[in-house]
Structure 1
Amino acid sequence: MSPAAPQSWQLVLADLALILFLVTLSGLANDEDAKPAVDGELSSSQEPQFAPSQALFRPSAAGPTLREWLSDQPFDTRSTVTVYAQYGREGREAAWEAARRLANQAEEAGYAVRVVIARGQESDLHASLAYDAPILSNKP
């Protein structure tokens, strides 16, 4: 038996693994869904991500303001307040104004804010506290 014989199967296996790697890599390079968005823009197949709510605030005349309510919540730099406003057939301007007031209170409390306004069956307003903001790193 030749000393090169035991190593020949390893060379063939390495060649096949390299071929498989190159074929997979070329397939990913041509895949539109695998390409990252440029300059932070959303691609056509990418939707904004919302984390599940950790706490929910509904304004009430007898209850605290959003700023007071947020002061009772544990603060985290990753937290985001999302204000959801829904308006019925009429009341679009009132929904915008109410959402703006809540968003301003959250910003004043030091939170990142996102506002979502949509037309619906009836009017509704609430704020959601979730930990879905990206973690910013000081690494270069």
Structure 2
Amino acid sequence: MSKSSICERERNHLEKMNKFQLGNQFKKMGYILAIATFVAMLGRKYVENSEWIRPILHGVLLVGMLIISLSKDKEEDEFIDSLRSQSYRLAFLLGIVYSLVQPLINYGVGLLFDENETLKGFSYFQVLFFMLVVQLMFFWQLKRMNR
């Protein structure tokens, strides 16, 4: 097997992964999953001893938002693909900034109200949720502005 054929197969595999999207029908399923999970998260507040379900609900909410993010629009063309790429890029950059700045803001505010504040990180859920919300909002805004 030659080096060029291995490289070509790898390039084809990467292109397939880069173009991966779910069908448009998954978008509705993602909305239902995300909204139902959000309602369940609100309802969980009123149930005693329900802390164990919190990480499960976080995961399901992230999966629902990811399904929405990966689902094609009804009219998916190169322009929409470009807008989607821009929104992912912006979400990634803002997610990094958020991850770096938010602990410092929390620390500063904590010092204002409590002398014994320590610098703490935050959960993966907060970062992933922030990135998915930013990506979806930027994508919808970019589509709306360019119609």
What TM-score results when the alignment is normalised by the length of structure 2? 0.23
**Which structure has the larger Rg?**
1
Higher strand share: 1
Q: If each structure's helix is expressed as a fraction of its own residues, which one has the higher value?
A: 2
TM-score by length of 1: 0.23
